Amino acid sequence: MSESPLLDVQNLKVHFPFSRGSLFRPERGVIRAVDDISFQIKEGETLGLVGESGCGKSTTARAIVGLVPPTAGTVRLNGSDITGLRDREMLPFRRQVQMVFQDPFASLNPRMTVGGIIGEPLVVHNLAKGRDRKLEVIRLMELVGLNPRFLNRYPHEFSGGQRQRIGIARALAVEPKLILCDEPVSALDVSIQAQIINLLMELQQRLGLSYLFIAHDLSVVRHIATRVGVMYLGRMVELADAADLYQSPTHPYTEALLSAVPVPDPVVAATRDRIVLEGEVPSPDREYPGCAFVDRCWIAEQKCREIRPNLGDQAHAAACHVRCPETS
């Protein structure tokens, strides 16, 4: 595994301007979907990105591949700055980074056959033609566990799990180094989720892939991730090795998330302390000078309201004045 990061995201911000109020008294504001986050992914590793809905996980992935323009910050892929590149300039880098989307039906063109969907990247990047393209599509279908006899069928003829396999095969067509998985199993049955997770792990071992794996289910992330980043209201609040984070969560928000994960053993479950967060998630259009979690935090101090905590660069980093005063 190379020491230099495959993906290096530094101080990434994605803000969406909006207008509200009346015609004569309009009020302008900004939704801070992603608010100054930094992380790295090395070759062969999986970074799990977790947090509740609306915290900016999917927006982060879309900004990396250029589907959403970043407001600030840099995204480097294999040392090359790809921040804000136009489609034509981004094309060579799209062979290195691909994306698997959450909805396995909405992300597939219903008017194209499976062979056409999987083979489309080969056409766009001019990688194979004619019979060679068909043979490559067949190889990709077999790689993800699909029967090549279904080559001429349409997406609606497949189950949710099979459709997600089609999406994975399409992502693999250009032989990427990094795949961004945007909640790839959240729309699937639990039994099918395990199959897709196992497939992704098998492909990683076989092809040397790296993943940014986005999910809100911490038990799923625990199974696949090498490291885990926790997001809250557009900010990264904790980043650590998976085993370390699950064993010893540092940030109060991470602690609350882990306390909500179901445990199959009723004896163990009865001894756990359940942390119930009070209040609602704050609005992302409001700027917080301090910690965004302060109004729901049970250990907050006055400093937490006034000064924004830094994540730090430790192996186990947490943006918390109380738990990690050295990062303040």
Q: What is the pLDDT of residue 1?
A: 46
User: Residue ranges of the chain with pLDDT lower than 70?
Assistant: 1-2, 21-24, 263-272, 327-328
Secondary structure class of 323 (helix, strand, coil): coil
* Percentage helix, strand, coil for the chain under 3-state DSSP, each rounded to 5: 35, 25, 40
311 found inside a domain: yes
Nearest Cα to Cα of residue 32 among 305, 288, 307 = 288
159 found inside a domain: no
- Helices and strands (DSSP H and E) totals, the chain: 11, 11
111 found inside a domain: no
- Which H/E stretch holds residue 194? helix 190-207
Q: How many CB atoms lie within 10 A of CB 100?
A: 26
pLDDT, tens digit, 9 for 90 and up, residues 208-258: 999 999 998 888 898 899 999 999 999 999 999 999 999 999 999 999 998
318 found inside a domain: yes
CATH number for position 271 = 3.40.50.300
Whole-prediction pTM value? 0.91
CA distance 144 to 165: 6
Indicate the number of domains in the chain.
1
Q: CB burial class (10 A; 0-12, 13-18, 19+) of residue 320?
A: buried
114 found inside a domain: no
Q: What is the pLDDT of residue 276?
A: 77
Find out whether 178 and 204 touch, Cβ atoms under 8 Å. Answer: no
CA distance 64 to 75: 6
Find out whether 56 and 14 touch, Cβ atoms under 8 Å. Answer: yes
Nearest Cα to Cα of residue 220 among 228, 210, 232 = 228
pLDDT, tens digit, 9 for 90 and up, residues 296-323: 999 999 999 999 999 988 889 999 999 8
257 found inside a domain: yes
Domain that holds residue 316: 7-96+176-327
Beta strand pairing call for 26-41 and 235-241: unpaired
122 found inside a domain: no
136 found inside a domain: no
